[in-house]
Amino acid sequence: MQQSQPTVEPTARVSLNVEELRRDFPILTRTMRGKPFIYLDNGATALKPQSVIDEEVRYYTELSANIHRGVYEFSEEASECYDRTRGIVARFVNAQSEREIVFTKSATESSNLIAYGWAMKNIKAGDEICISEIEHHANFVPWQALAERLGATLRMIPMNPTDASLDISDLDRLINDRTRLVGITAMSNVTGYMPPVERILARARAVGAVTVVDGAQWVSHATVDVQKLDADFLIFSAHKMCGPTGVGVLYGRESLLNEMDPFLFGGDMVLRVRKEKTVFRKAPEKFEAGTPNIAGVMAFGKAVEYLQNVGMEAIHEHEQDLLRYVVERASEIDGLVSYGPADLSTRGGIFSFNVGDAHPHDTGNILDEDGIAVRTGLHCAHPLMQALGIPGTVRASFYLYNTRAEVDRLIESIHRVRRIFS
C-alpha cells in the first residue's frame, strides 16, 4: 500500500505542499474531454485520496465480515475498525464522548433523524421552528414538512438580496418563546458565506430552543469544536471531506440523544427483544439499526486522519488564498457577476457566478469542454435563488488540492464563454 502522507508543519501559519498532496489523489491524473482534469466541484463531493480508497478495498479483500456479531477474528477486527472511526470523528470535532457520534448514510439522513427522533415527539401545534432562507434543502425541506404535519409555524431568517448574507436584525422576533428548534447552516453551499452562527445559537439558547447546525460544507474546511460551538446537533457528510459516499454523521449532545426516539427499528439497536416489549440500546447504537456501511465508515476514518495530517488550519488558509485569487482575477472579466459578501473572511472556498447573459448551464457546458468540472443550476437551494431572483449560478468550489494555475484555466475558459455569448 504505497501512500505519501503529507507532512505536518509545526508552525501556525502553514502552507500546503499542493503538488505533493495532489499525488495522493489518483483521479487527478485523468483527463476530461481530452484536457487535464480540473475539479472545482468540491461543494458537491470531494475527491478521495489513495489511503481512503485502499481502506475501502481492504475491508472487502481482508475482512468482509459483519460487525458486532461474529466471534471470529475477522469480525472482531472489522468491529474494532468500525468503532475506531467513531473515536477519530469524535476527536476531530472535539466531542465530549464517542457516544455523541451517530453514523448515518448522509447529512440528509442526519437531519431527518433529528426530525423523526426528536422533533416529532417534542414539537406541537402552535410551536415554531426557525431556519434561514439560505439553507440547503437538506436543512429546509424536513423542517417545512414537519411544520406542516405538526401544525407548527416555520420562520426564516431572511437573506440580504444584495450580497446573499443573512439579515439578523429581526432575530429576537424570529426566535422567540414559542421557538422549539433552530436550524442554521454554518456555511452556504451556494456562496460559501458563513453566517454569524454564534449569535444565532446564543439567541436560540436564550429561549430554550434545540439547535441544529448544518456542517455539510463547513466541517470539511474548518477546525470544528462542538463544545465551543455549543450546538445540540451538528450534521455532516463523509463524502465532502475526502471520505466515501454513503456515510453521514449526526453529532448530538449525549443527554439529548438518549432522550430521543429511534428512527429506524431492527437488529443491532436492541438490548433485549421480548414478544411483549423491546428494550433499545443507548445512543449511538440505538440509531444504527441493521448492517451499516462498514467499509465506508472504516474508509471515513482514513479520510479524517488524512485531513488531520494535512491540517485544517492549512486547508483553510489555502482555500482563502484561492478565493482571494479567483475574486481578483474575475474582476477583470466584463459582465461577470459573483454572489456572496465582499468581506472574503466571512466566506469559505466557494465562488458562485454568472457571465453576461449566458445561462449557468451554458457556461458549465463550455467549462466542461475545457476539462473543468463545476456545478451549475440551483444547488439544492431554491429559496435562496428565489430571494436572489436568478435562474441559478455557476459554482466553482475549492479544496486542498486545487491550485492557482487551475484558477487561471478557469478564468481563461470564462473568457471563452464571454466570446461566445458576446
Partner 1 sequence: MSLEEDLYKEIILENYRSKKNRSRMDDADLASEGANPSCGDDVELFVKLDGDRVVAVTYDGIGCSICCASANLLCEAMKGKTLTEAMTIIGEYRKMLLEDETPHFSEDLADLEAMQGVKHYPVRIKCALLAWNTVRDMFETPASGG
377, interface contact from partner 1, ligand PLP, none, CB < 5-8 Å by kind? partner 1
Please tell me the chain's helix, strand, coil percentages from 3-state DSSP, rounded to the nearest 5: 40, 20, 40
185 counts as binding ligand PLP under rule CB under 6 A: yes
In 10 A of CB 194, how many CB atoms?
Answer: 20
Query: Measured from the CB of residue 106, what is the shortest distance to ligand PLP in angstroms?
Result: 3
Q: Which of 377, 387, 403, 415 binds partner 1 (CB under 8 A)?
A: 377
Please give the size of the binding site for partner 1, defined by CB under 8 A. 16
Of 142 and 311, the one with the shorter C-beta distance to ligand PLP is: 142
Q: From the list 55, 56, 133, 214, which residue makes contact with ligand PLP (rule: CB under 6 A)? A: 214
Q: From edge to edge, which strands make up the β-sheet containing 248-252?
A: 101-104, 248-252, 233-237, 210-214, 179-185, 128-132, 153-157
DSSP line for 238-278: GGGGTS-TT-EEEEE-HHHHHHSPPSS-STTSEEEE-SS-E
185 contacts which partner out of partner 1, ligand PLP, none, CB within 5 to 8 A by kind?
Answer: ligand PLP
Q: Which is nearer to ligand PLP, 43 or 49 (CB)?
A: 43
Pairing label, strands 31-32, 336-339: unpaired
CA-nearest of 134, 138, 93, 84 to 111 is 138
Q: Helix crossing, 312-330 with 294-310: angle to 10°?
A: 80
Would you call the peptide bond into 196 cis, given omega within 30 degrees of 0 as the criterion? no
Q: Does 190 bind partner 1 (CB under 8 A)?
A: no
Q: What are the grid coordinates assigned to 43, written together?
A: 461543494
Measured from the CB of residue 365, what is the shortest distance to partner 1 in angstroms?
7
How far is it, in rounded angstroms, from Cα 157 to Cα 395? 24
**Cα separation of 281 and 271, whole Å?**
5
Q: Which is nearer to partner 1, 324 or 361 (CB)?
A: 361
Which grid cell is 266? 431492527
> Pick from 58, 176, 369, 373: which binds partner 1 (CB under 8 A)?
369
Name which of partner 1, ligand PLP, none residue 214 binds, using a CB cut-off of 5 to 8 Å depending on partner kind: ligand PLP
Only segment of 131-139, 322-330, 361-369, 389-397 that touches ligand PLP (CB under 6 A): 131-139
Closer residue to ligand PLP in complex, CB, 239/418: 239
Rule CB under 6 A: is residue 197 a binding residue for ligand PLP? no
**Cβ closer to ligand PLP: 42 or 402?**
42
- Return the amino acid letter for 346: T
Q: Which of residues 239-298 bind partner 1 (CB under 8 A)?
A: none
Stretch 344-383: interaction string toward ligand PLP, x if CB under 6 A: ------------------------------------x---
14 vs 380 by CB, closer to partner 1 = 380
DSSP 74-101: HHHHHHHHHHHHHHHHHHHTT-S-GGGE
Q: How far, in Å, CA of 294 to CA of 406, rounded?
A: 35
- Determine which residue in the list 358, 374, 388, 396 makes contact with partner 1, applying CB under 8 A: 358
* Distance from C-alpha of 285 to C-alpha of 240, rounded to nearest angstrom: 24
Point out the residues that are catalytic: 380
- State which residue, 85 or 217, has the beta carbon closest to ligand PLP: 217
Residue 138 binds to ligand PLP (criterion: CB under 6 A): yes
47 binds partner 1 (CB under 8 A): no
CB 178 within 8 A of CB 127: yes
**Site residues (CB under 8 A) for partner 1?**
357-362, 365-366, 369, 376-378, 391-392, 420-421
**Site residues (CB under 6 A) for ligand PLP?**
106-108, 136, 138-139, 185, 189, 214, 216-217, 237, 248, 380
